[in-house]
Structure 1
Amino acid sequence: MNAARILIVEDEVRLAGLMADYLRAASYEVDLAHDGLAAIPALRAQTYELVLLDLMLPGRDGLDICRELRSFSDVPVIMVTARVEEIDRLLGLEIGADDYVCKPFSPREVVARVRAILRRRRRDFAVDGAMDEPALDIDEARFRASVGGKVLDLTPVEFRLLRTLAGAPGRVFSREQLLDQLYNDHRVVTDRTVDSHIKNLRRKLQQAAPERELIRSIYGVGYKLE
C-alpha cells in the first residue's frame, strides 16, 4: 500500500517543517503550502489523504479554504490554530473540518490525530473495484457520500437508498425492502417510486465515476450494489 500523502497548509515555516519531519518519520508523504492562496490549486492538482490546515493564513483564511474544498472533495481536514474561542471551533467543524488542534501542540499529538483519522477513514465503508477504480465512501455522520473523493449531490432519500444498498453489497433488495428505508414519515408511495430514485442515483454515480456501474437491476426482483 502506498504511503498516505498529506498536505500541510501553514504559514509558519518552522512549524510546518517540524510537522512535516514528524509525519515523514511516521512514513507519510508530505507536501507544504505556506499561504492561503496556494492551498486550493495544490488540492486540485494532487490527491491527498488528509490536509492539515492553519486557520490564520496570509491571502486566504483556513475557513474559507475549507468551505471551498468541501465543494469538490471530502478529504479529511484537521484545522490548526492558536485561536481557541469556542465559536471558531464550532464554525470550523460545521463547514466540514474533521478535527481541531490548538497551538501550542506536540507534533506527536498531531501524528496521533492523523493516524486516528486515517485509520477511521479506512474502516468507513468502501466498495472497492478493480485496481485504480474509485471507492464509494458513506459518511453517515455528515449525511454525505462520495466516489473517488468526489462528493455526490444527493437528496436525503437518495442518500438513504445508497446507504441501504451499500450496507450489504451484493445483496439483492426488493423494491418493498428499499421503500421501508426511504421515508421517515410513513407516507404512502408506490414501489415504482424506488425506480425513479434509482434512476437519479445512478445518474449521479455515473457522473462521478463514468467507468463503473455500481447499481445493477435484477429483473423481477430488485436492485443490488456491486
Structure 2
Amino acid sequence: MRNLVQMYLENSGFRCVHASDGTDALKSMKEKNFDLVILDIMMPFEDGYVVGSKIRAFSQVPIIFLSAKGEEWDKVRALQLGGDDYIVKPFSPGELVARINAVLRRTAHAKNDEERVSLGKITIDKKGRSVSVEGDAVALTLKEFELLVFLVQHQGHALSREQLLEFVWGMDYQGSLRTVDTHIKTLRMKLGTGDYIQTIWGVGYKFEVPES
C-alpha cells in the first residue's frame, strides 16, 4: 500500500517519504519538514490515532487519515484528533490526489493569513523573521525567534523544557535544559515583559496574552 501511494503521488509531481510504522514516521517528522502527512490507522506497535495525537503535540502539519474502517465513529475520532480529512479504503488514485490538493489549498490559505500575527503588544512577522513590541523592533537571535514562534503556535498550552529543547534545537542537540531557561529569560528581557511567557512550575513554559 505504501509503495502504491508513493507511486500515485510521485506520478502527480509530489515528493514522498514513507515509513513502516509510527515510530519511524515520528522520527522522520522531527528530522525534516513536510507539507502533509498521510496516516494509516492500522499500523504495528502504535495505531494511527496514537501517532496522530503525538504529531499534534508539536506540529500543525495537515494530516489525512487512511483506513478500511468506515464507521462514523472512526471518522469522528480521527477528525477530533486534528485530522484534516479521512479516506476510506479502497480509494482511487484520482480521489487521493484530489483530496490532498484540497487540503493543501486550505492550509496554504491559512498559513498566508497567519504570516503576520499580533498578540497584545507583540507583533510577529514570520515571513520577515521580525518581532516588534508596540511598534518598536526587537532584535532576536535565530533561536530566540524560533522559540517565541513555537510558544505562540501552541498558545495556551504548557510546554515542557524537553519539548522546547527537542523541537527548537533538535533531537541531536547535546546541551542541557538550562539552555531553554536562559533563552526564555533573554526573551522576556528583550520583549520588555514577562507577562506573555509564563512559568508553569514543574512543567515548563506557556505563552498567554495577558488580560488587559
Q: Specify if TM > 0.5.
A: yes
Give the equivalent residue in structure 2 for 1:153.
155
Q: Distance in 2 between matches of 1:150 and 1:44?
A: 19
Change (3 A) 1:102 1:112: same
CA deviations on 1:27-84 (whole Å, 9 max, x unpaired) are 2110010122212111111111100000000111000001111110000000000011
Amino acid of the residue matched to residue 41 of structure 1?
A: K
Code of the aligned partner of 2:76: L
CA contact (8 A) 2:115 2:127 kept: no
Residue 17 in structure 1 maps to residue 19 in structure 2? no
Question: What residue in structure 1 maps to residue 36 of structure 2?
Answer: 50
CA shift at 1:96, angstroms? 0.7
Over 3 Å counting, the alpha-carbon distance change for 1:148 and 1:31 in structure 2 is farther
Matches within 5 A, 1:70-219: 70-124=56-110, 125-127=113-115, 129=125, 133=129, 147=149, 151-154=153-156, 200-201=195-196, 203=197
TM-score normalised to the size of structure 1? Answer: 0.54
Mapped contact 1:72–1:150 kept (Cα < 8 A)? no
The percent of aligned pairs where both chains have the same amino acid is 32
Change (3 A) 1:65 1:45: same
Q: Which residue of 2 aligns with 1:180?
A: none
Size of the aligned set, in residue pairs, is: 141
Please say if residues 18 and 25 of structure 2, whose CA atoms lie closer than 8 Å, have aligned partners that are also in contact: no
- How far has the Cα of 1:127 moved from its partner? 1.4
Moved over 3 A (4+): 128-134, 146-151, 198-201
- Given that 2:41 and 2:47 are in contact with CA atoms closer than 8 Å, whether structure 1 keeps it comes out as yes
- Alpha-carbon RMSD: 3.2
Separation (CA, whole Å) in 1 of partners of 2:7 and 2:64: 17
Which runs of 5 or more residues in structure 2 are unaligned? 117-124, 131-147, 158-192, 199-204, 207-212
Cα pair distance change 1:130/1:57, threshold 3 Å: closer
How far apart are residue 87 of structure 1 and its match? 1.1
TM-score (norm 2): 0.57
After TM superposition, give the deviation of residue 120 of structure 1 in Å.
1.0
Look up the SS of the partner of 1:30 in the other structure. coil
Aligned residue number for residue 69 of structure 1: 55
Secondary structure of residue in 2 paired with 1:101? strand
The verdict on how the C-alpha distance between 1:115 and 1:147 changes in structure 2, with shifts beyond 3 A counting, is farther
